[in-house]
Amino acid sequence: MSVAILPFLAFATAQVGTPGPANMVLLATGARYGLRRALPFVAGVALGKQLIIWPLGFGLLALQGDYPFVFQSLKWISLAYILWLAYRVAGMRLKVGEADGPPPGFLAGLIVHPLNPKAWGMITTGFTTFVIAGTPPLQATATIAICLLGLQLLLHPIWTYAGQWIAAGLAGKPGEKYLMWTLAGLTVASVVYALFGQSFFHGAPLQGTPQ
């Protein structure tokens, strides 16, 4: 097998299923609008990760040594975006089905992962750790893409529905603002860890020896 699928799935499940900027935004969106109204946004978030997987799989990792300023710039753009999301989450109030204005749509969801450092780090680790040396880029990239999309289609709606469920018990109560502040804090903590607690890009090109 050219990709260690089962170990990668175990790793990816832990990454996709645990708190991070995207999941915190999904949780807050579900709390604000409910799962049904948020489905276009959820679909955008799930498919947005493909915008990272395919360029990395076809050689973007190999360019980081030649253009380090590009990747450093991406880190800070990502940090600024996630901090803005956290600010928005902190100010949200729970009104499932009654929120003012339309919910975020597909295009809003599409950019969440490309500006999510945790997603970049996870995908980079997938290519450098679970892909056997000499694997054709198309085969490796398609395998990782399919595995991650399947996990996201399963787990992202769960996070969104969890927000709806939490909102049903907390909307309009004193604990509401503390929940939103906590979600915002977890969002910031996860992106700070992704950027500074582990390397944003830390691997080798696709054909590198698994670690």
pLDDT digits (tens, 9 = 90+) for 37-66: 999 999 999 999 999 999 888 876 566 556
Predicted TM-score of the model (pTM): 0.71
Provide the CB-side half-sphere exposure for 141 (13 A, CA): 18
pLDDT at 198 over 60: no
DSSP-assigned letter for residue 60: G
pLDDT for 204 equals 42
**Two tokens, residue 67:** 């253009």
- Listed residue (58, 205, 55, 202) closest to 139, CA to CA: 58
Share of the chain above pLDDT 70, in %: 68
